[in-house]
């Protein structure tokens, strides 16, 4: 068993990764609450944004900050476009069908990514990774700090937005009952569009951060969505605060297993195992319900 000293660096990686998982988890939960769509293409959107931004930096003379902005905007625009095109025709369908639709988007993006950028080693190096703090023996980069702080800020910000603004109230109304909200004069399409856009911007941000923190690889980034998904599921796709903590716990457990050699090969299973336990816990009481799907 490794000593406590060995774990210290992994606390930092765990916290920062967990923060980004929580950030993505928030994007997933907000979109699910407002539109009923569980966006499984969240990771793919961020991955493609990051790859585009990499291409801009390495193959053109574009300013790197412009490239980062393009990554985030790409997330927002693609997600919004998907929401506008495929949201309405699938609105009345089962949540499962809506989720499978986003798998279609994920496949399209994955196909384009491996077409334009065949697998080879690339790396994204954000300027914030250059400098950082020294805490004891552990070096902490600004990117890692941003990962954690962004998660907390986004969680509080989104919570406040949903609680105190008109648009946020409308979103919560949609989450409760789409039809009744529409009858009361909530502009459903417009409110949904805002949710798609916001969630997409978060996808782009998460993709950018993860491409630096983990790896700039299409498949890896696409399937990192599972970690965020696990956080969102543990929060029953409802609570933003629980998503934040679940995301951080997943990141921490995943990272802290690394120095324990006997099981470190299996550490990537953390999100799967936690999410499965979470899902079974959610549905521990079997209820046969007859009614509208998705409520």
Partner 1 sequence: MNAGGAPSEARASLSLPERRPTAGTIVRGGVIAVLLAFVLAGLPPLLSVYWLDVLTAVAIYSVVALGLNLLVGRVGLVSLGQIAILALGAWVAARLDFATSLPFPIVLLATGVITAVLGVIVGLPALRVSGLYLALITLMLAGAITIVLNSTNFPNGGGGFLGHTESSFGSGGIRRPSIAVSDQAYYRYAVVLAALMFVLALLHVRSKPGRAWAAIRQSEPAALAAGVNVTLYKLWAFALAAFITGIAGGILGGSSGKLFVTQFTTQGSIILLAVVLMGGVFSLWGALAAGVLLQLLPALLNDWGAPPDLLTVIFGVGVLQVLVTAPEGLVVQVPRDLATLGRFLLRLGRRAASLLGGAQ
CB 288, min distance to partner 1, A: 5
Of residues 104 and 157, the one with the C-beta less far from partner 1: 104
CB 100, min distance to partner 1, A: 6
Of residues 133 and 272, the one with the C-beta less far from partner 1: 272
Of residues 154 and 234, the one with the C-beta less far from partner 1: 234
CB 269, min distance to partner 1, A: 5
Q: Which residues lie near partner 1 (CB under 8 A)?
A: 38, 86, 89-90, 93-97, 99-101, 103-112, 114-115, 219, 222-223, 226, 229-230, 233, 265-266, 268-269, 271-273, 275-276, 279-280, 282-284, 286, 288-290, 293
Distance of CA 49 to the CA centre of its chain: 13
Of residues 104 and 187, the one with the C-beta less far from partner 1: 104
Of residues 156 and 282, the one with the C-beta less far from partner 1: 282
Of residues 70 and 230, the one with the C-beta less far from partner 1: 230
CB 108, min distance to partner 1, A: 3
CB 188, min distance to partner 1, A: 19
CB 262, min distance to partner 1, A: 12
């Amino acid at each position: 068993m490794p000593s406590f000293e060995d774990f210290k660096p992994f606390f930092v990686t765990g916290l920062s990764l967990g923060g980004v998982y929580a950030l993505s988890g928030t994007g997933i939960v907000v979109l699910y609450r407002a539109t009923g769509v569980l966006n499984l293409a969240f990771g793919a959107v961020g991955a493609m944004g990051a790859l585009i931004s990499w291409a801009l930096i390495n193959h053109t003379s574009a300013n790197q900050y412009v490239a980062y902005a393009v990554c985030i905007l790409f997330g927002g625009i693609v997600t919004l476009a998907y929401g506008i095109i495929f949201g309405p025709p699938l609105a009345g369908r089962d949540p499962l069908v809506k989720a499978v639709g986003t798998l279609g988007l994920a496949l399209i993006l994955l196909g384009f990514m491996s077409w334009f950028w065949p697998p080879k080693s690339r790396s994204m190096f954000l300027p914030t990774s250059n400098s950082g703090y020294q805490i004891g023996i552990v070096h902490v980069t600004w990117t890692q700090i941003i990962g954690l702080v962004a998660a907390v800020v986004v969680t509080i910000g989104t919570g406040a937005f949903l609680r105190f603004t008109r648009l946020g109230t409308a979103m919560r109304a949609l989450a409760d009952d789409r039809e009744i909200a529409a009858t009361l004069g909530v502009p459903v399409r417009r409110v949904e569009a805002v949710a798609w856009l916001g969630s997409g911007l978060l996808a782009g941000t998460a993709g950018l951060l993860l491409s630096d923190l983990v790896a700039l690889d299409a498949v890896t980034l696409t399937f990192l969505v599972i970690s965020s998904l696990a956080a969102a599921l543990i929060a029953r796709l409802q609570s933003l605060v629980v998503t934040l903590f679940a995301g951080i716990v997943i990141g921490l457990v995943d990272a802290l297993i690394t120095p324990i050699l006997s099981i470190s090969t299996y550490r990537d299973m953390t999100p799967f195992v936690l999410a499965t336990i979470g899902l079974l816990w959610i549905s521990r009481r079997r209820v046969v319900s007859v009614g509208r799907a998705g409520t």
